[in-house]
């Protein structure tokens, strides 16, 4: 089995099914070498601001889904967001990521003004992760200065996607089409998938990884699916036994996808995600960084809101302040001999 960037989908699938320890060690080493060669040892820090947990969608996997009445909804004010932005500058982060549920209450002009302020008052890159907004909004935000947009396609299996990600009435939801449009607007485009969704086949996960390459993604964020008890999928999982053709939502499967993503997209920015840190609180972050990842996303959301942004239960770092997150992540990065990235850390043009 080769480990080339152009490896066929069948080879990707074989790696996803691989469980021999020596072969997996070879996969980790190979991904780590590709990471070092193409994006270097710097770990870029993206300060995450979860600006609203209001959501109009009904995704079967996500705790923020509109029908979930058990969460206390919030939307941050401009002043609160700018306080988080100031912390990002103070902490030396290169980017802020504004993420939210799909919240039409985040008005286009309101956010355009905030983006313009960040771009004129700070040296930060601005990343948005706000779901399936109208293209006119995305165009306006790009014109206001936003640099990057994150939109996971979650799975490329259309039947599974439709089952877990219903569109709003009268609309269609095609995130793969949207990603091409996002790139055409001049954004750096990020996407990714959930690993171990009930009913996800090895073949479809291999196709997801091949699609990372075909879409030439600038950023790839993946993590294990973590069941949320107040969601239809979470309730279904509780009474299901695992089947051999369905990908398990395990830590090891997540590392395999991180490593293979690195191999097929050598210069992409790949975070070691919070979901990984959640299923292995001891060293999930570090292992992600040693198996292909080169980015982490310290949380800047004020603690009182952070607890309410519960896309899945038990999320790592929920009880921490922005300062604690910064210190903890710095320590983890330095403990594995890596350095903190300087500057915005956009699509890799390796500084030599
Ligand atoms: N509303 C935005 C942001 C959603 S949160 C959007 O839809 O793009 C960001 C990501 O969290 C999602 O894309 C999804 O992949 C992930 N996520 C949601 N629920 C999850 C769960 N139960 N387990 C693991 N990851 C989850």
pLDDT for 1: 52
Helix, strand or coil, per DSSP, at residue 46: strand
Please give the Cα distance from 305 to 8 (Å, whole number): 44
How many angstroms does the Cα of residue 310 sit away from the middle of ligand 1?
Answer: 10
How many angstroms does the Cα of residue 165 sit away from the middle of ligand 1?
Answer: 11
Q: Is-contact 312 63, C-beta < 8 A?
A: yes
Kindly state the helix (H) or strand (E) to which residue 150 belongs, with its residue range.
strand 148-150
Assessment of whether the complete model's pTM goes beyond 0.75: yes
CB burial class (10 A; 0-12, 13-18, 19+) of residue 164? buried
List, chain by chain if needed, residues with CB within 6 Å of any ligand 1 atom: 61-62, 99, 101-102, 129, 131, 151-152, 154, 194, 223, 225-226, 228, 275, 311-312
Our mutation pick for probing the ligand 1 site, out of 152, 231, 238, 253, counting the most ligand atoms within 8 A of Cβ, is 152
Counting Cα atoms < 13 Å in the Cβ hemisphere of 38 gives 22
Predicted confidence (pLDDT) per residue in 72-112, tens digit: 999 999 999 999 999 999 999 999 999 999 999 999 999 99
Q: Is-contact 245 236, C-beta < 8 A?
A: no
Q: Which residue has the CA at smallest separation from atom 1 of ligand 1?
A: 101
Q: Is-contact 296 68, C-beta < 8 A?
A: no
How many angstroms does the Cα of residue 114 sit away from the middle of ligand 1?
Answer: 24
Distance set, CA 102 to CA 56, 59, 85, 183 (Å): 6, 11, 21, 20
* Phi, psi torsion values for 340, nearest 5 degrees: -85, 130
Please give the Cα distance from 22 to 7 (Å, whole number): 20
How many angstroms does the Cα of residue 327 sit away from the middle of ligand 1?
Answer: 25
Q: pLDDT 10s per residue in the chain (352 long)? A: 558 999 999 999 999 999 999 999 999 999 999 999 999 999 999 999 999 999 999 999 999 999 999 899 999 999 999 999 999 999 999 999 999 999 999 999 999 999 999 999 999 999 999 999 999 999 999 999 999 999 999 999 999 999 999 999 999 999 999 999 999 999 999 999 999 999 999 999 999 999 999 999 999 999 999 999 999 999 987 777 778 789 999 999 999 999 999 999 999 999 999 999 999 999 999 999 999 999 999 999 999 999 999 999 999 889 899 999 999 999 999 999 999 998 999 986 544 3
pLDDT for 350: 47
pLDDT for 268: 98
Q: Which fold has domain 41-246+295-340?
A: TIM Barrel (3.20.20)
Q: Determine the atom of ligand 1 nearest the C-alpha atom of 228.
A: 22
Domain ranges of the chain: 41-246+295-340
Please give the Cα distance from 101 to 65 (Å, whole number): 8
pLDDT for 351: 42
Counting Cα atoms < 13 Å in the Cβ hemisphere of 48 gives 24
Our mutation pick for probing the ligand 1 site, out of 57, 226, 311, counting the most ligand atoms within 8 A of Cβ, is 311
Query: Which two tokens mark 137?
Result: 């909004």
């Amino acid at each position: 089995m080769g480990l080339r960037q152009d490896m066929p989908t069948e080879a990707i699938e074989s790696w996803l099914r691989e469980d021999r320890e020596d072969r997996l060690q070879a996969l980790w080493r190979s991904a780590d070498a590709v990471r070092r060669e193409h994006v270097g040892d710097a770990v870029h820090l993206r300060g995450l601001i979860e600006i609203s947990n209001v959501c109009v969608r009904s995704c079967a996997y996500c705790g923020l889904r509109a029908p979930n009445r058990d969460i206390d909804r919030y939307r941050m004010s401009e002043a609160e967001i700018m306080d988080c932005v100031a912390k990002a500058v103070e902490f030396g982060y290169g980017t802020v990521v504004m993420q939210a549920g799909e919240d039409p209450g985040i008005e286009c002009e309101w956010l355009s003004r905030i983006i313009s302020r960040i771009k004129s008052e700070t040296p930060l890159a601005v990343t948005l992760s706000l779901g399936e907004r109208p293209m006119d909004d995305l165009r306006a935000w790009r014109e206001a200065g936003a640099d990057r947009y994150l939109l996971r396609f979650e799975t490329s299996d259309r039947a599974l996607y439709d089952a877990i990600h219903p569109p709003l009435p009268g609309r269609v939801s095609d995130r793969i089409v949207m990603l091409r449009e996002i790139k055409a607007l001049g954004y750096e485009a990020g996407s990714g998938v959930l690993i171990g969704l009930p009913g996800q086949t090895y073949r479809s996960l291999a196709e997801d990884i091949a699609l990372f390459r075909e879409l030439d993604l600038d950023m790839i964020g993946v993590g294990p699916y973590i069941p949320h008890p107040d969601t239809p999928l979470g309730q279904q999982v509780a009474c299901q036994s695992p089947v051999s053709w369905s990908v398990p939502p395990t830590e090891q499967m997540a590392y395999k996808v991180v490593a293979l993503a690195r191999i097929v997209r050598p210069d992409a920015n790949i975070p070691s995600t919070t979901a990984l840190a959640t299923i292995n609180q001891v060293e999930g972050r570090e292992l992600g960084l040693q198996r292909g990842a080169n980015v982490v996303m310290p949380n800047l959301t004020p603690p009182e809101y952070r607890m309410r942004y519960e896309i899945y239960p038990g999320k790592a770092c929920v009880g921490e302040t922005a300062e604690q997150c910064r210190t903890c992540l710095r320590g983890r990065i330095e403990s594995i001999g890596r350095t903190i990235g300087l500057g915005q850390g956009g699509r890799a043009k390796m500084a030599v």
